[in-house]
């Protein structure tokens, strides 16, 4: 069955809209999180974010632990590990670099994945241009260079790339929101030791 041009166009526009929405979400959440660094530190803020997200998703989704194959569990676990490490690296990059530069470095990961996964010349060129644009923004003349900040940003990019690959694997395995909830829970468990010293400081008023 061949998809109609209108259906394909709608799918492309929907995908582009979701990418823009996701990018805006990352920028906004990163800006909000940066305001918590002075209270909880970069590690503590990242860990608390994972714990809160896991609790909300577990409450809303109530994922089942039964009937999952070993390969599906492997994808869920790797997805969660990549999520946790990406956030830890990104927040440490944000702490040392301008927010825009840190988040731009982070997006090198999915851009590289798109480039490697492209099967057509047009797809490869689009991914390559995106990757070049991200690299140029990251290398802009900011007047200083923080080696640890850039290393953390590139680490976030690597794990964001891994996150992108395994997000697709978990989705294709039919896990859906159940898989996402379980992966976020894995991320929360990994970062829990970093959050424990700060749990007593958390309040709704901030």
pLDDT digits (tens, 9 = 90+) for 157-170: 999 999 989 988 88
In a domain, 8, yes or no: no
Tokens of 175: 């896990």
CA distances from 130 to 10, 13, 110, 114 (A): 22, 17, 10, 9
Residues 34 and 128 in one domain: no
In a domain, 202, yes or no: no
- Residue 11 pLDDT > 80: no
Domain that holds residue 54: 28-62
Residues 46 and 85 in one domain: no
Lookup result for tokens 């690296």: 89
Residues 77 and 55 in one domain: no
Residues 99 and 168 in one domain: yes
Q: Of 20, 38, 62, which residue is a domain's last?
A: 62
- Structural domains counted in the chain: 2
62-93 pLDDT, tens digit per residue, is 988 887 888 889 999 999 999 999 999 999 99
In a domain, 12, yes or no: no
Residues 50 and 118 in one domain: no
Whether residue 102 contacts residue 68, with contact meaning beta carbons closer than 8 Å, is answered with no
Q: Which of 156, 64, 169, 52 is nearest to 101 (CA)?
A: 156
Confidence of residue 50 (pLDDT cuts 50, 70, 90): very high
State residue 1's pLDDT score: 39
Q: Of 19, 45, 62, which residue is a domain's last?
A: 62
What is the rounded average pLDDT of the residues 136-163? 80
Residues 86 and 33 in one domain: no
- Rounded CA-CA distance 185/54 in Å is 5
What is the rounded average pLDDT of the residues 107-117? 80
Answer with the residue of higher pLDDT: 3 or 22.
22
Residues 58 and 85 in one domain: no
Residues 95 and 178 in one domain: yes
CA distances from 7 to 3, 12, 13 (A): 6, 9, 10
15-24 pLDDT, tens digit per residue, is 667 667 766 7
- Residue 183 pLDDT > 90: yes
Tokens of 57: 């998703």
Residues 90 and 148 in one domain: yes
Confidence of residue 201 (pLDDT cuts 50, 70, 90): low
Residues 49 and 127 in one domain: no
State residue 87's pLDDT score: 93
């Amino acid at each position: 069955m061949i998809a109609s041009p209108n259906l394909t166009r709608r799918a492309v526009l929907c995908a582009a809209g979701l990418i823009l929405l996701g990018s805006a979400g990352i920028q906004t959440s990163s800006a909000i999180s940066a305001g918590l660094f002075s209270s909880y530190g970069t590690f503590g803020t990242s860990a608390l974010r994972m714990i809160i997200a896991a609790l909300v998703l577990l409450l809303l989704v109530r994922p089942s632990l039964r009937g999952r194959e070993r390969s599906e569990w492997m994808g869920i676990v790797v997805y969660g590990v990549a999520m946790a490490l990406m956030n830890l690296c990104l927040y440490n990059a944000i702490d040392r670099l301008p927010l825009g530069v840190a988040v731009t470095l982070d997006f090198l990961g999915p851009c590289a994945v798109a480039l490697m996964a492209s099967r057509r010349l047009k797809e490869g060129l689009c991914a390559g241009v995106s990757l070049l644009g991200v690299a140029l923004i990251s290398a802009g003349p900011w007047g200083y260079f923080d080696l640890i900040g850039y290393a953390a940003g590139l680490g976030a990019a690597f794990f964001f790339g891994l996150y992108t690959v395994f997000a697709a694997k978990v989705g294709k395995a039919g896990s859906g929101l159940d898989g996402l909830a379980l992966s976020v829970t894995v991320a929360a468990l990994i970062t829990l030791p970093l959050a424990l010293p700060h749990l007593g400081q958390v309040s709704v008023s901030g």
